[in-house]
Amino acid sequence: MSGKTITIKGPDGSFSGYLSKPASGKGPGIVVIQEIFGVNKVMRDTADWLAAQGYVALCPDLFWRIEPGIDITDQSEADWKKAFELFGKFKGDTGLIDIRATIDTLRPMTTGKVGAVGYCLGGFMAYMTACKTDIDASVGYYGVNIQTRLAEAEYLKKPLMLHIAGKDEFVNPGAQQEIIDDLRDNPLVTIHQYPERDHAFARVGGAHYDKADATEANNRTLAFFKKHLA
């Protein structure tokens, strides 16, 4: 499965996105929301994986307002430094504008319904996407800073799944508990906890990758999308 780069037109300008389609050429859509490393191989592989499952996947360049075309890894100190600089400059509310534009671009290519899945920074944005857009279902992996925007959950209208890493170095136990306590009674929210895992346990090739829990989380994600996007 291989994709291509397309142009997404938003209200504040145009930016790129990586598009991957299933062999049939059609299916429900999924917006893939990047980590702090840009639209890199990990994100492109994720879009291709979803396309192989029958989804039209589109991963937008959410750093375009800061620096377009970021494509770095988690494998060097220099890349980590760059990634955190970008993370520090990124504004979630303008990111939401771009995600809405991505949904609007993607939906006409699909059979109708569009979901979102995000990781790290993208996990937070997947939560915000669930709260503040017309997405049909959303999944966040180890989202950072969700606890700062829990009031937004009152706007949830469609299903949300969160994967929480119990030993997440970027989301302390208090923040995790705050998220769980605030959201667990919401009938639209499903929370899965992975007590022994650290941040980015589903990132293939990452320092904290755990194949067993990554596979379980991914299978839960696919079942969730199958239920809500069919």
> Active-site residues: which are they?
168, 199
Q: Which residues contact 213 (CB under 8 A, 6 or more apart)?
A: 194, 196, 197, 201, 202
3-state secondary structure of 117: strand
3-state secondary structure of 202: coil
**Alpha-carbon span 137 to 175, nearest angstrom:** 24
**Alpha-carbon span 48 to 19, nearest angstrom:** 9
- HSE (CB half, 13 Å, CA atoms) of 135? 33
Q: Which residues contact 61 (CB under 8 A, 6 or more apart)?
A: 15, 16, 17, 34, 38, 39, 68, 69, 70
* Residue carrying structure tokens 């180890």: 142
Torsion of CA 210, 166, 217, 39, to 10 degrees: -80
Q: Which residues contact 64 (CB under 8 A, 6 or more apart)?
A: 13, 15, 16, 98
